[in-house]
């Protein structure tokens, strides 16, 4: 080790002044670039509350006709698209009506064929003078009447088929099925609800004590815990929380509580009604906040290094987005450094050590 030290001293002795000046000042420049000036900042007190996941809109898939539920295609928890078939309702009378219309249509087609044949024969006899004009008009009218009856019957048949098609229960919007209210084989009435569907847009519903009404406003930021996060204090790491925005504050109190809605991305994987921990700002105060990188922990204590080379003990507090709050040990004007620099050695001391 001593030969290496002597080589460094010899290098400094015979090197140019610029190189020696860089070697001496580089630690100071590095320390100066990683300093932090302590000053008071405005912070918000965070209160831990519970919010519940709610759907902004809950709609229902309803039966449009009465009949028997012959097919059920969804179950609780399924995600459905708008227009997707949820169930199938059929009325047995409609099938019989369609069969009756088909039989009557065949009869009318036969009558139309006979009427056309009769019209053709009467028209031939009329040309030879063996049939009157009245008989010809009667045959033409008969063809027109049967043709009109066939057209009316086809329209009645289309009405029954459309009613049968309306037995398909469709989802009115994209979302998740919350509950299915009927079972296979059940008799349903027109307009009866088949399933409740939570539209695919979820919010957090907050219920805060009345004393916090003046602190919460629209567009305020809140912190939302990840799913299953059970910590109850404010010292949990903010990196494990998501940020939400207050989208609406209702003007009416509910049993002495303020009701507010919070918008958060990707809430679709939660259960509707599931409770989530949320931190909201309840008041503002002044505090000392420093970055975590300036705090060193040893033997269960927290230390910081000052620019004068001293080391002091601090009491850390709440973890905030910009750093960690310091409850005691610092004052305004203190300058912090991340690491202590070794004492500088003057050229005279270095020469003495080399000799």
Q: Say which DSSP state 148 is in.
A: H
* Mean pLDDT over the full length of the chain: 80
Polymer length in residues for the chain: 355
Does the domain made of 40-56+201-337 have the CATH classification 2.40.30.170? Answer: yes
pLDDT at 232 over 80: no
Q: How confident is the model at residue 208 (pLDDT cuts 50, 70, 90)?
A: confident
Which tokens hold the place of 210?
Answer: 């009345």
Residue 103 DSSP SS3: helix
Beta strands in 181-217 (DSSP E): 187-188, 193-199, 202-209
CATH architecture of the domain 58-175 equals: Up-down Bundle (1.20)
Model confidence over 303-338: pLDDT tens digits?
999 988 888 999 998 777 778 889 998 888 889 998
3-state secondary structure of 304: strand
Distances (CA, A) of 322 to 41, 189, 283: 10, 60, 17
Rounded to the nearest angstrom, the gap between the alpha carbon of residue 176 and the centroid of all alpha carbons in its chain is 13
Give residue 145's pLDDT. 93
Mean pLDDT computed over 246-253: 89
Report pLDDT digits (tens) over 36-51.
889 888 887 778 888 8
Q: Is the pLDDT of residue 221 over 90?
A: no
> Quick one: average pLDDT of 257-266?
87
Q: Is residue 23's pLDDT more than 90?
A: no
The answer to whether 317 and 289 are in contact (CB under 8 A) is no
The predicted structure's pLDDT at residue 25: 34
Distance CA 12, CA 24 (A): 10
The residue among 267, 226, 225, 260 whose CA lies nearest residue 246 is 260
Cα gap 216→197, rounded to integer Å: 31
Output 144 or 273, whichever has higher pLDDT. Answer: 144
Report the percent of the chain where pLDDT is more than 90.
Answer: 23
CA pseudo-torsion sign 80, 81, 82, 88: negative
Is the model's pLDDT at 62 over the cut of 90?
Answer: yes
- If one counts every other C-beta atom within 10 angstroms of the C-beta of residue 258, the result is 21
pTM exceeding 0.85: no
> In angstroms, rounded to a whole number, what is the distance separating the alpha carbons of residues 173 and 84?
9
Q: CATH 1.20.120 in the chain, residues?
A: 58-175
Query: What is the average pLDDT across 219-226?
Result: 84
CA atoms in the 13 A half-sphere facing the CB of 78: 16
At residue 22, the pLDDT reads: 33
Query: Is pLDDT above 50 for 13?
Result: no
Can you give the pLDDT at residue 50? Answer: 87
Other beta carbons within 10 angstroms of residue 124's beta carbon come to 11
pLDDT of 349 > 60? The answer is no
Q: Could you give the residue range(s) of every CATH 2.40.30.170 domain in the chain? A: 40-56+201-337
What is the side-by-side strand order in the sheet with 58-62?
Answer: 58-62, 193-199, 175-180, 79-80
pLDDT at 193: 92
Region 328-354: what's the mean pLDDT?
Answer: 70
């Amino acid at each position: 080790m001593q030969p290496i030290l002597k080589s460094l001293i010899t290098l400094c002795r015979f090197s140019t002044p610029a190189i020696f000046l860089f070697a001496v000042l580089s630690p100071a420049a590095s320390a100066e670039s990683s300093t932090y000036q302590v000053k008071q900042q405005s912070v918000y007190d965070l209160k831990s509350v519970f919010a519940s996941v709610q759907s902004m809109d809950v709609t229902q898939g309803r039966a449009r006709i009465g009949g028997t539920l012959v097919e059920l295609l969804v179950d609780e928890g399924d995600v459905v698209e708008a227009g997707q078939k949820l169930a199938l309702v059929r009325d047995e009378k409609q099938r019989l009506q369609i069969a009756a219309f088909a039989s009557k249509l065949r009869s009318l087609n036969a009558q139309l064929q006979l009427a056309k044949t009769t019209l053709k024969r009467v028209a031939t006899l009329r040309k030879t003078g063996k049939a009157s004009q009245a008989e010809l008009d009667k045959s033409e009218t008969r063809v027109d009447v049967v043709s009109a009856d066939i057209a009316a019957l086809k329209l009645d048949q289309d009405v029954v088929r459309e009613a049968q098609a309306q037995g398909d229960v469709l989802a009115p919007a994209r979302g998740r099925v919350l509950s299915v209210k009927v079972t296979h084989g059940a008799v349903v009435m027109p307009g009866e609800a088949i399933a409740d569907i939570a539209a695919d847009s979820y919010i957090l519903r907050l219920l805060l004590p009345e004393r916090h009404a003046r602190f919460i406003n629209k567009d305020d930021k809140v912190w939302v815990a990840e799913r299953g996060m059970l910590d109850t204090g404010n010292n949990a790491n903010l990196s494990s929380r998501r940020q939400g925005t207050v989208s609406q504050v209702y003007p009416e109190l509910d049993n002495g509580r303020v009701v507010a809605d919070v918008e958060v991305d990707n809430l679709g994987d939660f259960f509707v009604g599931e409770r989530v921990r949320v931190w909201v700002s309840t008041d503002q105060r002044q505090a000392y906040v420093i970055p975590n990188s300036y705090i060193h922990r040893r033997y269960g204590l927290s230390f910081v290094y000052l620019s004068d080379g001293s080391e002091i003990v601090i009491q850390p507090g709440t973890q905030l987005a910009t750093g960690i709050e310091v409850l005691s040990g610092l004052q305004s004007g203190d300058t912090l450094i991340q690491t202590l620099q070794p004492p500088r050695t003057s050229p005279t001391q270095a020469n003495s050590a080399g000799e």
